[in-house]
Structure 1
Amino acid sequence: MSATEITPALSVLDLVPVRTGQSSAQAIAASMALAVRADALGWRRYWFAEHHNMPAVASTTPPVLIAAAASRTSRIRVGSGGVMLPNHAPLIVAEQFAALEAIAPGRIDLGIGRAPGSDPVITQLLRQSGTTGDVERFPSHVQDIALMLGQDGATVRFTSGGEYAVRATPAASGSPQVWLLGSSDYSARLAASLGLPYVFANHFSGQGLERALELYRSEFAAGETLAEPRTFLTANVVAAPTDEEAQARALPQLRMMARLRSGRPLAALETVEQAQRGLAEGPDAGEQTLLDSIRSSWFVGTGPDVRRELDAFAAQHGVDEIMVSPVAGSFESEPLDATPGREQTLELLAG
């Protein structure tokens, strides 16, 4: 298939956003409803990110959210985008995802990342047990998880010559699809060397995209589970009936990202009206430049326009799937236990 013939499948990346006045319970309820809607619309997969100690993000525990979403859906693949492996013992990750595979056979994805998913203080709290924070062992930990998830399990070999079998579950009949996530040359090369599918986190940082994909594809080593490179991209997206509404719904997340990148204190996600009032007060030149820079890599507009842009984006980079992070904000009049703007984005893009 040539690049111009690609029609990308669509998937969802969910950070479970928390808006002003919304409880964690309401935010999670809204995301569960969104997962159900994505399932009904025929979207390919639904992944939850891992972030910690952020007022506007409730996706702290991907395995818990995956289990909840799996129980409410019947077709769509559910998974992590991703589990930040240095925060966890590899055996625990393998056991959690083996259990998820048993709950929803053939529908579980294990996306693994190397970043901490938070600030340095929280990173230290997450890694107080010591050995799990050994980032240098990340490649071997990824391999260990893949082995422990398999039917044969992994074998621990001791210097004395003894061996010990380790399995993530006693009698696996299948295993999750393991993906490596990243936004750097390191992650692309590691995924290639391990023969794993790879996702470039374009929604977070679009810098280095072309080089990462070229490295992954050119250095890919085929393995038992994957014969050729397999990759897709993520993107921040807002679709609405009108361009005016889409631009308005993009404002809350844009302003939060600007605060994050400029090191200012974070808060719950603004409503559209709060963001508009803040913008009307007049950002300084530096803030406006930052907002414009962030916005330049997003896909915001009417459903048909955004879909055409996503199709072209996929064709440009030779991928058959785009994972959408639906970043549409909410108006003050909209219910706290639902996310109409994000649901609208999925519906419009599905056609």
Structure 2
Amino acid sequence: MTTPSLTEGALAVGNRIGRYFGVVSMLPALFLVLWSAALIASGAWHGRPRLDSLGAAFGQPTVAKVAWILLLSLATGLFLHPLQFAMTQVLEGYWGPSRIGRILTGMRIDRYREKQRELEHRRVTIADQLRELVDARLELAWGREEFESWDDATYEQNRRRLLASERGDDLTAWLIADETLGQAAERYPDPTRLMPTRLGNALRREEDRAGRQYGIDAVITAPHFALLADDKHIAYLRDSRQQLDTSVRLSVVSAIATVETVACLVTDGWWLFLGLATYALTYLAYRASVAAADEYTTALRTLIDLNRFKFYEGLHLRKPPNSREERRNNAKLMALLRGEAEDIRYDHPAAGPPPPPAAPANPPGNL
């Protein structure tokens, strides 16, 4: 649980405060301020909410009221902005080394390990049953001797032909179930790398996969790529990261609003159900953060694909002639970037030809 998150360094060097702050900080802060102001204006802190008090407070907006709301939203946004990384870490499942944190982490990871095994078992069961059905129909159509003589390529060709024909129409549900369970199982990282939350598992999965085919560690090299990549690639990555940060911030402020609502309305009967609205927003924003994490990590994976040769050039390394040599070189390079002592040959660009001599100011014959 001590491995640094992919979100820790990927865009730390590239974020700008302007548009990023306006979207990620101000909008969630404005929601929190307006919700808190509505609770206060309705008298929920002192007793049952009164809609007439709420209407009197917000029915006639004035310049002063709008200015105060914007000022409080700005102050709240400025306070929450430095906590963005910490909020993301909490939602990922980095809950600290305390006894309570370890217990909660262990319980949630055990739950996800059990769920992962269950999904894998169901996927294998569905795949086996589908294969039995397909084999039975192929054997019936071609005969046992012909069926058993096929090699893998012939079997796969006839299998595709069967599933695409009318005889395979009733197997569509099995195909969809097999594909759906396969996709669900792939959403988890290796069982030894599981995190206690959905968001943590979504990011951890790509921490382990992004750049792996090249021998590149995405966690270590993300800041390097953020400095070297093309501007349009960085803009795409920044936009994806902004969606993730906005979803995380909305989830957190909605959770704060839920606590406020429950604290104000716990003794007010049916009014307490207002807490379900903010809780639903918390849940939706959290699920949106998981979807945004998928898009963000896809953008990072694409960034590595398109800019890894610039990465090698920036470190004065020779471009590998093939993927095998690339993985061999990157094994040493990743160790070097982790601070280990490794011997790597650098490839400095050759000096260009000397510049031509400058023409004399008064060439001979030109008087």
Category of TM-score, reference length = shorter chain: under 0.3
Which structure is larger by alpha-carbon Rg, 1 or 2? 2
Give the structure with the larger strand fraction: 1
Name the one with the larger helix percent: 2
TM-score (norm 2): 0.19
